[in-house]
Amino acid sequence: KQEVTQIPAALSVPEGENLVLNCSFTDSAIYNLQWFRQDPGKGLTSLLLIQSSQREQTSGRLNASLDKSSGRSTLYIAASQPGDSATYLCAVMYTGANSKLTFGKGITLSVRP
Amino acid sequence: DTGVSQNPRHKITKRGQNVTFRCDPISEHNRLYWYRQTLGQGPEFLTYFQNEAQLEKSRLLSDRFSAERPKGSFSTLEIQRTEQGDSAMYLCASSAPRLSSYEQYFGPGTRLTVT
């Protein structure tokens, strides 16, 4: 079964800390992987998309990496701010999946001032 | 480009009633997806369209659910005879593979509460 796992479910850090959010997936036959941000009661905002042929993508203070062989992706957030507090979701598009995304349950991040 | 829009944003209905949600994708996006998200979970795939053709439906989509995308533009998701277990956030997303490598853009969602 193609699954996506995000552990831990919640994380609390002080402002200014660099942090890493982890995502693991069960099948290395992926087309791409997307990281999303979700604020409470809101929709999803796409942060970064990594193609299966890529190793990493960067946008501002965010850097996402992909290691297909080990079935892992990480989202690195530099110099965290209280405004980064949200739930971060990892989603995998498996090859042959008709472009549908399989999501993890998300990591709820709280950045303390 | 105004993004993906969904209406209504919130819907409260009594068990047994029918409800219909609407999604307007980003213009020129030929793929449209519906997902359902319950509290504390990630979104789960329901169905997707390429243009006006519905190409896949999840086993989560019971016979009480129906989705359409007439003329390949907006889409509607109807739930008949709602049950309390249908309470969830219904999310719509769109993509244009030719333009953005299947990157999906999500709308704000419709939160359904069945009482």
CB neighbours of residue A67 within 10 Å: 13
Length of chain B: 115
Amino acid at A3: E
Q: Give the pLDDT of residue A87.
A: 97
Q: Give the pLDDT of residue B69.
A: 96
Question: Looking at CA atoms only, how far is residue A22 from chain B in angstroms?
Answer: 15
Q: Write out the H or E segment, with its range, that includes residue A110.
A: strand A107-112
pLDDT reading at A7 higher than 60? yes
Distance CA B57, CA B88 (A): 18
Amino acid at A72: R
User: Is the distance from CB of A99 to CB of B48 less than 8 angstroms?
Assistant: yes
Pairing of strands A86-94, A102-103: antiparallel
Amino acid at A57: Q
Q: Give the pLDDT of residue A101.
A: 94
pLDDT (tens, 9 = 90+) of chain B, 115 residues, equals 579 999 999 999 999 999 999 999 998 899 999 999 999 999 999 999 999 999 989 988 889 999 999 988 999 999 999 999 999 999 999 998 766 678 899 999 999 999 9
Amino acid at A15: E
Q: Which residues pair with A108 in a beta bridge?
A: A10, A87
Average pLDDT, chain A: 94
3-state secondary structure of A95: coil
Q: Which among A42, A51, A100 is the nearest to B45, CB-wise?
A: A100
Q: What CA–CA distances, in Å, run from A29 to A18, A26, A40, B42?
A: 30, 9, 32, 21
Which of B36, B41, B58, B104 should one mutate to test binding to chain A, selecting the residue with the greatest count of A CBs within 10 A? B104
Give B-chain residues touching A45 at CB under 8 angstroms: 106
Q: Give the pLDDT of residue A63.
A: 97
Q: Which residues pair with A90 in a beta bridge?
A: A35
Mean pLDDT within A55-60: 95
Q: Which among A32, A49, A89 is the nearest to B42, CB-wise?
A: A89
> Does B95 contact A36 at a Cβ distance shorter than 8 Å?
no
